[in-house]
Each structure stands twice: as structure tokens, then as C-alpha cells.
């Protein structure tokens, strides 16, 4: 029997612009999915104890990476599904990690690549942000160009992603989940229409790319205040692109008086926001007061791992 776990994520800077080849920064967070896997005796019978929640990710992961005997798989997750916090990636990565460990072939990069394939099969068009950061942990910088600290390069069709390790200073984030699940696809399509038709939207995408590059420098120098200001600017630009919603904006406004910066994270249209703060309890209270579900999360957490 083996138990593995893998973290969820937030996108700190650069969502949506990353779809157009601009860079993005994603951080692993201290909310994890756990997988317990065991090869069961053929004679016992029961093969399928997969829960409904992430069933298609788990069965695809097994299909892609396991040809041994029947498996008993049990998943537990601290990540609410549909919250934009990478719950499906964390479940997929933890499951693939457990299978790799059963095979004696546990390797972060291989797990990241397989997990991206699984997400692509189940979701259709996916980017490898969630799966790569869940496998690697800490932080990743994703870009269409190769830079220093390269972890791996993933390509699909004509698309290319260079995944780099990104130093993460000690910081506390508060996540505020609106409780509204929002599918990523329609929001990406909405932004694409805007970008295809207006120069103004293309300039916004470029500006988000510049903000992300500056954010990388601020992270390296541990400038939390500067990073917070960049998050605020990034949020304003995402709002102009039309992916913020009134409930998200309410949570951002509630967090701001006690934060260095706050922004929606992920696709928007619902889902979650994040605030960078050194007063996490106050921010969590403020988020709760506006009807959100707060999670105080540490960063710099480990990626996929085998639990003791």
C-alpha cells in the first residue's frame, strides 16, 4: 500500500495572458489531495472504489499508467472542486504519484507530463500550469521562451510551454472562494473574442505579461509590498477583460484594507481570489463577512510526495 499527496495551486500573476503566450507565475499552496493506493488480490474482486467527484481523472490516470492487477484507490482532498485551486490536477498528480511509487518509478517530471496528458484527455484543451506546479510544488514560472532554472518543456500541437522553477519568498496568502464554480473554457473563449477584435485588449494582454515579469523580480528580491501592488494592477486589467464578477470584486474589496494586494486567481467568472497579507486572520474574517469561504494558505510547499 502507498499513500501520496499533491498540492493545489493559485495563479499569482498572468492568467489569461498565458493563453496568448505571455508568462505566468503559479504557486503551490498548503491544501493537498491525498491518494491511498493498493494492489488488491484478484480473488477479492472489488476493483472500482473510485469516488464520483474526480472519477474520470482517476480512471484515465490508471488507464494511462497502470497495467498491473486491480487497484483499490481512495482519494481525500482538502481542495474544493471547481474553485480554481487546481483540485483536479492535485487528484490526478497524487494518483499518478501513487501508481509510480507502486511501480518503483517515482519521478516528478514524468508524473507532471502524464498528468498533463490525463487533463488533456478529460478536459480537452488544457495548459500544463496546474499539473506542473502540483508535481513540482513551491512555485513555477511558465513561459513560451526558455529561461534559466528550466524544469521541463512541454509541447502539444503547435503550443509550447517552458516550465521553470521559481523562488518563492515566505509569504501568507488568503484564498477567498466565492462558492461559485466557473468552467474555464467559456471564460478563455470570451477573452479570446475580445483580444481578436480589439487592439485595446491586446495591449492589456501585453501589460499583464510585463507585470508578470516584474513580479518575478519582486519575488526574487522578497519585495512583498511591490508584489502586492502588481497583483492589484493585474486584477484591474483582468476586470477590464471582463472576467471579474461582483462576488469576486466584493471579496477583493473586503481583503484590500488588510493586504499588500489582492486579485482574482485563475479563470475568474466565479472561483476564487487571493490576498497577500501579513494579517491573515483579519482578511479571512473580512472575506467570511462578505459571504466568501476563506483559506489561509502557506506557500513554498512540497510537490507530489510519498507520505510516511
Residues with catalytic function: 130
DSSP assignment of 260-274: SEEEEETT-SSSEEE
Shortest separation between residue 9's beta carbon and ligand PMV, angstroms: 7
The single residue among 12, 18, 50, 274 that binds ligand PMV, judged by CB under 6 A, is: 18
> Residue with C-alpha cell 463577512?
289
- Residue 250 cell numbers, joined: 466584493
Shortest separation between residue 172's beta carbon and ligand PMV, angstroms: 21
> Does residue 224 contact residue 299 with C-beta atoms inside 8 Å?
no
Stretch that binds ligand PMV, among 103-111, 127-135, 159-167, 278-286 (CB under 6 A): 127-135
8 binds ligand PMV (CB under 6 A): no
262 binds ligand PMV (CB under 6 A): no
Shortest separation between residue 30's beta carbon and ligand PMV, angstroms: 17
* Cα 285 from Cα 206, distance rounded (Å): 35
> Does residue 87 contact residue 33 with C-beta atoms inside 8 Å?
yes
184 binds ligand PMV (CB under 6 A): yes
267 binds ligand PMV (CB under 6 A): yes
6 binds ligand PMV (CB under 6 A): no
* Cα 36 from Cα 237, distance rounded (Å): 42
* Cα 176 from Cα 287, distance rounded (Å): 6
Stretch that binds ligand PMV, among 50-58, 124-132, 220-228, 279-287 (CB under 6 A): 124-132
Shortest separation between residue 238's beta carbon and ligand PMV, angstroms: 9
Stretch that binds ligand PMV, among 11-19, 132-140, 160-168, 192-200 (CB under 6 A): 11-19
Between the alpha carbon of residue 142 and those of residues 2, 15, 24, 195, the distances in Å are 31, 11, 5, 21
> Residue with C-alpha cell 499552496?
29
* Cα 235 from Cα 26, distance rounded (Å): 15
Q: Is 272 exposed, middle or buried (0-12, 13-18, 19+ CB in 10 A)?
A: buried
CB-wise, 83 or 101, nearer to ligand PMV?
A: 83
The single residue among 127, 131, 178, 299 that binds ligand PMV, judged by CB under 6 A, is: 127
Shortest separation between residue 11's beta carbon and ligand PMV, angstroms: 6
Stretch that binds ligand PMV, among 99-107, 169-177, 199-207, 263-271 (CB under 6 A): 263-271
Q: Which helix (H) or strand (E) holds 139?
A: strand 139-143
Output phi, psi for 42, to 5 deg.
Answer: -45, -40
The single residue among 3, 4, 15, 230 that binds ligand PMV, judged by CB under 6 A, is: 15
What separation, in Å, do the N-terminal and C-terminal C-alpha atoms of the chain show? 11
The single residue among 84, 215, 228, 270 that binds ligand PMV, judged by CB under 6 A, is: 84
CB-wise, 270 or 294, nearer to ligand PMV?
A: 270
Q: Which residues bind ligand PMV (CB under 6 A)?
A: 11, 15-16, 18-19, 84, 86, 127, 129-130, 184, 188, 266-267, 271
Amino acid at each position: 500500500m502507498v499513500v501520496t499527496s499533491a498540492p493545489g495551486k493559485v495563479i499569482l500573476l498572468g492568467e489569461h495572458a498565458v493563453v496568448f503566450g505571455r508568462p505566468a507565475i503559479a504557486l503551490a499552496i498548503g491544501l493537498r489531495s491525498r491518494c491511498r493506493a493498493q494492489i488488491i488480490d484478484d480473488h477479492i474482486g472489488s476493483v472500482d472504489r473510485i469516488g464520483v467527484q474526480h472519477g474520470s481523472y482517476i480512471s484515465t490516470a490508471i488507464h494511462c499508467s497502470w497495467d498491473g492487477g486491480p487497484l483499490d484507490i481512495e482519494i481525500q482532498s482538502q481542495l474544493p472542486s471547481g474553485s480554481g485551486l487546481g483540485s483536479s490536477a492535485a487528484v490526478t498528480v497524487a494518483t499518478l504519484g501513487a501508481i509510480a511509487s507502486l511501480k518503483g518509478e517515482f519521478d516528478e517530471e514524468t508524473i507532471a507530463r502524464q498528468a498533463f496528458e490525463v487533463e488533456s484527455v478529460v478536459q480537452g484543451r488544457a495548459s500544463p500550469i496546474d499539473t506542473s506546479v502540483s508535481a513540482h510544488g513551491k512555485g513555477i514560472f511558465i513561459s513560451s521562451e526558455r529561461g534559466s532554472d528550466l524544469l521541463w518543456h512541454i509541447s502539444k500541437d503547435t503550443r509550447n510551454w517552458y516550465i521553470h522553477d521559481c523562488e518563492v519568498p515566505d509569504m501568507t496568502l488568503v484564498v477567498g472562494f466565492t462558492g461559485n464554480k466557473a468552467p474555464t473554457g467559456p471564460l478563455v473563449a470570451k477573452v479570446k473574442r475580445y483580444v481578436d477584435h480589439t487592439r485595446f485588449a491586446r495591449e492589456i494582454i501585453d501589460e499583464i505579461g510585463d507585470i508578470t515579469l516584474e513580479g518575478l523580480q519582486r519575488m526574487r528580491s522578497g519585495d512583498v509590498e511591490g508584489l502586492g501592488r502588481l497583483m492589484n494592477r493585474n486584477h484591474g486589467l483582468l476586470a477590464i477583460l471582463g472576467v471579474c464578477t461582483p462576488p469576486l470584486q466584493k471579496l477583493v474589496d473586503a481583503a484590500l484594507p488588510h493586504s499588500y494586494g489582492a486579485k482574482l486567481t485563475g479563470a475568474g467568472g466565479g472561483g476564487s481570489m487571493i490576498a497577500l497579507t501579513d494579517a491573515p486572520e483579519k482578511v479571512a474574517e473580512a472575506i467570511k463577512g462578505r459571504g466568501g469561504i476563506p483559506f489561509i494558505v502557506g506557500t513554498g510547499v512540497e510537490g507530489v510526495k510519498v507520505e510516511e
